[in-house]
Amino acid sequence: MTTVAEMIVGALADQGVRQVWGVVGDALNPVTDAIRREERIEWIGVRHEEAGAFAAGAQAQLTGTLGVCMGTVGPGSVHLLNGLYDAKKSHAPVLAICGQVPLADLGSDMFQEVDNDLIFRDVACFNRTITSPEQVPQLLGQAMQRALNHPGVAVLTLPGDLGGLEMPKDAAVPARAVAHPQTTPDAGALDEAAKLINDAGSVTMLVGIGAKGAREEVLATGERLNAPMVLTLKAKEGLEWENPHQVGQSGLIGNPGATVAFEGGDLLLMVGTDFPYRDWYPEGKTVIQIDARPEHIGRRTHVDLGLVGHAAPTLRGLLGRVAPKKSSAHLVASRKVYTKWCERQSHLADPHYDKTLVGRIREKFDNTKVRIRPEALAVAIDRHAADDAVFTTDTGMATVWLSRFVTMRDGRALLGSFNLGSMANAMPQALGAQMLDRQRQVVAFCGDGGLSMLLGDLMTAVSHDLPVKLVVFDNGSLGMVKLEQEQGGLPEHGTTLQNPDFAAVARAIGLHGVQVEEPNDLDDAVRDALAHPGPVLLDVLTNPDEISVPGKVKLDQAWGFAIAKMRETVLSQGDS
């Protein structure tokens, strides 16, 4: 005899799923009991279903295979939504199995009943409620196929009285899902693209996560075209290290080198990117966009030619058609500005910077209490972290510091909520990454606001003995919101956080907790924390007033920042 729950769990194990994340309860009891008896799958109990969804999404992004999370009837499933939206926008293959009230009670406004089909309609590329054992093989197979090949989120709702029912004796085994092959544009489109490139005087490349796995082709294209290469944040992994063409990021986390690259080129070649910030695209350029998803073509900026195909085979097709660009002037100019900017930024990472003449001048504006600069913390982590470390980062200023000061060397990986922009993602994503490989170092760049939002799942690191390294940029502020207010000319309001001693909280939970207050203690503390064998929370009190200036500052932004700072000064003087 095989039950519905056993059929589902066995099919997941056959698909290669090794962990399932969630919170146990009522409608899921037959499923979690089947997991208990299935040696190939481990149940990872979290304190909040949102953390479980983030963790499953992280695993899916790192492996390209199916991540699985579960939520029981009503609020348990609703709690999954934020993490599932992150998976959707990250194109991560995730299956969510959601509990429901018994079939006979559907539509009766039963205790805890919610309309799962309605709630998950937007987040899911496949969304069905199982209403009989006979449906299980087909619906489960379809859900896994759609999640992997979309890729995205599939949701299966399981009423509480179905899990324990017997499957028909002649029930088929759910189809095992496989990914589809890579695609290439037709020859005519490649010829047209090559002509546009050959006719252009200079080329700038904008490369995104869609070029992951196409490093060789991307570098060969940059070399052939003598093109500077602006990388999206997600493209740092795999394309930043040993790349003589890259000029860092654009947007609010960007730098002047990327601005020079954008503004100086005649043609913009976009490769595997859906970079969403329209204001940062250059104007008046010929634009070619390569993307495997046709719906991405032209939705961010005007595109003269869209090539629907995967990065690696499409670039291989172009390389055989384009002529080399002999002039390196555009590349050299962009790289020169980028390199000088990097040198200026590196000064801020020196713990003795505030004692220099320039440092003492800047200190009067942004570090009057000589606190630890977040740049110094990011550089220390970069210096001591393993060459194959997985980094996760919370949305906000933690992402800025990682973007600018952590190098994605060969073997390193990077995760964040880079499309949804959620708070509280770094810690649960780190849990998911660490569960894949307990021997691989996993380092989370946690904002204090983000960490405190899902603080309860620090206990998951302890209960499952996951040796994650959680580094808290503890500036007592929602830093990115503060920056946004100031750029708009508004005084800071509502962004101050009254934080506990996070290290003490961590120790009470069972982690190794350390707090750092002095700049001179920073490097040793980071080295020791990363070398500790178990889960660690390193609480570093950083400067909340650090100024992060994007690569291209508009006049209204600069004026707004100045006005806001004057207002803050007046308000603080008036309050004293």
- Write down the pLDDT at residue 21: 98
**Stretch 176-205: mean pLDDT:** 92
**Stretch 113-139: mean pLDDT:** 97
β-sheet bridge partners, residue 540: 473, 516
Judge whether residue 245 has pLDDT over 60. yes
Residue 48: DSSP 8-state = S
Judge whether residue 259 has pLDDT over 80. yes
In order, the DSSP letters of 212-261 are: TT-HHHHHHHHHHHT--EEE-GGGHHHHSTT-TTB----GGG--HHHHHH
Judge whether residue 559 has pLDDT over 90. no
Please compute, for residue 381, the number of CA atoms within 13 A of its CA located in the half-sphere on the CB side. 33
- Write down the pLDDT at residue 345: 87
Mean pLDDT of the chain: 91
Please tell me the total number of residues recorded for the chain in this structure.
576
> Distances in Å between the alpha carbon of 264 and those of 205, 268, 282, 501?
12, 10, 9, 48
Q: Which helix (H) or strand (E) holds 390?
A: strand 390-393
Lowest mean pLDDT among 257-271, 357-371, 416-430, 558-572: 558-572
> Distances in Å between the alpha carbon of 295 and those of 292, 308, 557?
9, 9, 32
Which CATH architecture describes the domain 349-575? Answer: 3-Layer(aba) Sandwich (3.40)
Which CATH superfamily does the domain covering 4-159 fall into? Thiamin diphosphate (ThDP)-binding fold, Pyr/PP domains (3.40.50.970)
Percent of all residues in the chain with a pLDDT value above 70, rounded to a whole number = 91
Q: Domain ranges for the chain, please list them.
A: 4-159, 187-338, 349-575
Distance (Å, whole) CA 253 – CA 437: 30
- How far from the centroid of its chain's Cα atoms is residue 172's Cα? 38
pLDDT band at 485 (very low <50, low <70, confident <90, very high): confident
Distance (Å, whole) CA 213 – CA 216: 8
β-sheet bridge partners, residue 442: 390
- Write down the pLDDT at residue 351: 67
Record: fold of 187-338: Rossmann fold (3.40.50)
Fold match flag (4-159 vs 187-338): yes
**Stretch 410-431: mean pLDDT:** 97
Angle separating helix axes 49-63 and 426-436, nearest 10 degrees? 50
Q: What is the 3-state secondary structure (H, E, C) of 110-169?
A: CCCCCCHHHHCCCCCCEEEECCCHHHHHHHHHHHHHHHHHCCCEEEEEEECCCCCCECCC
Backbone angles phi, psi at 334, to 5 degrees: -65, -45
- How far from the centroid of its chain's Cα atoms is residue 109's Cα? 37
Percent of all residues in the chain with a pLDDT value above 90, rounded to a whole number = 82
Reported pTM: 0.91
Q: List all residues 6 or more positions away from 242 whose beta carbon is below 8 Å from its beta carbon.
A: 410
pLDDT band at 573 (very low <50, low <70, confident <90, very high): very low
**Stretch 16-30: mean pLDDT:** 96
Q: Which helix (H) or strand (E) holds 308?
A: strand 305-308
